């Protein structure tokens, strides 16, 4: 059996060398089904997060959770990744969804930066999306590992009980397509 295993490993290496390098996500923190994911170390308002992801890697956008399978992967990976960079201080991550195109019609923005597409599934929290005006941008609620979606002011500011603006900027996860296996 030992020799057989060595033979399999040797054949696998030959196949790698002949057909190309192993598929991977250089510079990313995680990968899942052809997509690379990277957590940025800073916090941003929603538009700042969009720009920060675009500047990270060509084709990179903010996180959009488009399938239940992607959601399950993120539940497993993201909470630990965020805790590692923020000591548990980061509770919300912007999502690349909004109703900026049509009020109360929340959609995912397309990865090419133009247009949008509807949800394949949704995970809105209780009483979300909010009925409050100006709550046009989406984020992911990681408090208590809820992993539900909220709508929030895109500026990253809320008014406190005295009517004063308080920063509630979120952290940002970027995603981008895995480089081609055949490059």
Number of residues that bind Ca ion (CB under 5 A): 2
**Least distance in angstroms from the C-beta of 17 to Ca ion:** 32
Whichever of 64 and 137 has its CB closer to Ca ion, that residue is 64
Query: Which range in 23-31, 58-66, 153-161, 163-171 contacts Ca ion by CB under 5 A?
Result: 58-66
Nearest to 146 by CA among 91, 69, 85: 91
Question: Both tokens of residue 118?
Answer: 């509807």
Nearest to 41 by CA among 24, 26, 56: 56
Query: Which range in 61-69, 91-99, 132-140, 165-173 contacts Ca ion by CB under 5 A?
Result: 61-69
Does position 36 interact with Ca ion (CB under 5 A)? The reply is: no
Please report how many Cα atoms fall inside a 13 Å half-sphere around the Cα of residue 160, on the Cβ side.
6
Among 30, 64, 82, 174, binds Ca ion (CB under 5 A): 64
**Least distance in angstroms from the C-beta of 154 to Ca ion:** 20
Query: What is d(CA 167, CA 156) in angstroms, rounded to the nearest whole number?
Result: 6
Query: What is d(CA 59, CA 96) in angstroms, rounded to the nearest whole number?
Result: 14
Query: Which range in 56-64, 75-83, 85-93, 128-136 contacts Ca ion by CB under 5 A?
Result: 56-64
Bridge partners (DSSP) of residue 166 are: 158
Whichever of 45 and 66 has its CB closer to Ca ion, that residue is 66
Contact 30, 79 (CB under 8 A): no
Query: What is d(CA 140, CA 65) in angstroms, rounded to the nearest whole number?
Result: 10
Report CA Rg, the chain.
19
Does position 107 interact with Ca ion (CB under 5 A)? The reply is: no
Query: Which range in 7-15, 43-51, 57-65, 82-90 contacts Ca ion by CB under 5 A?
Result: 57-65
> What 3-state DSSP class applies to 131?
coil
Whichever of 64 and 93 has its CB closer to Ca ion, that residue is 64
Whichever of 64 and 78 has its CB closer to Ca ion, that residue is 64
**Under the rule (CB under 5 A), what is the footprint of Ca ion?**
64, 66
């Amino acid at each position: 059996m030992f020799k057989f295993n060595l033979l399999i490993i040797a054949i696998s290496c030959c196949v790698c060398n002949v057909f190309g390098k192993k598929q991977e996500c250089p510079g990313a923190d995680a990968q899942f089904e052809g997509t690379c994911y990277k957590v940025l170390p800073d916090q941003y308002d929603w538009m700042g997060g969009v720009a920060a992801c675009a500047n990270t890697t060509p084709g990179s956008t903010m996180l959009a959770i488009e399938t239940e399978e992607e959601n399950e992967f993120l539940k497993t990976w993201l909470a630990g990744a965020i805790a590692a960079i923020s000591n548990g201080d980061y509770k919300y991550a912007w999502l690349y969804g909004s109703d900026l195109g049509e009020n109360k019609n929340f959609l995912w923005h397309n990865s090419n930066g133009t247009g949008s597409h509807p949800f394949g599934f949704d995970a809105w929290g209780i009483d979300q999306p909010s009925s409050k005006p100006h709550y046009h941008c989406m984020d992911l609620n990681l408090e208590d590992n809820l992993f539900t979606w909220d709508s929030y002011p895109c500026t990253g500011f809320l008014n406190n009980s005295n009517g004063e603006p308080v920063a509630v900027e979120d952290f940002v996860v970027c995603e981008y397509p895995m480089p081609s296996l055949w490059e």
